[in-house]
Amino acid sequence: VGMMSAFFTNGFRYFTPFFYGLIEISSVPLAVMNGFKGNPELTRRYPSLNQVARLVFAVSFLVVRFFMWMPNIARYLHVAAMLGFTCRSKKCQLGCALSWWSAIGLTCLQLLWSYKIVHGVIMGALTGGAGGGGVGKSTKSKKHL
């Protein structure tokens, strides 16, 4: 995606504010969440704030990197394919193909992480906020086995 807006001058800069700017807004709560993850003392002292940071990250990621990503990437891929099929030079075709397949790869990653986040939220809700660690585990202690 970045390659197209950096090297082509035929309209791909339309996508730059989203893919270079807005998409990164979910990185802010991710950094806060990672701060808690890297410092167990903070997590013990501020468990509610930790949960809020996790929830804000989940919501911001899903809104920006799933719900907003899908229509934007669909438009981008459509325009990139149209350009790729009408390019007169092999360089142009190669650039479009590389960008197109990179965008497909990035989209697969967005879908994978969206799935993991939704799964984590569901598991956390089912286990009372334990992060999914208790589902499917035996409740018997080792003494009884």
DSSP label of 24: G
User: Distance between CA atoms of 25 and 31, rounded to whole angstroms?
Assistant: 11
User: Distance between CA atoms of 57 and 37, rounded to whole angstroms?
Assistant: 13
Q: How many CA atoms lie within 13 A of 134 on its CB side?
A: 11
The per-residue pLDDT for range 81-135, each reduced to its tens digit, is 998 899 899 988 998 898 899 999 999 999 999 999 999 999 988 987 654 433 3
Average pLDDT over residues 33-50: 94
The whole model's pTM is what?
0.77
Alpha-carbon dihedral of residues 84, 112, 25, 68, nearest 10 degrees? Answer: 60
**Chain centroid to CA 116: how far?**
10
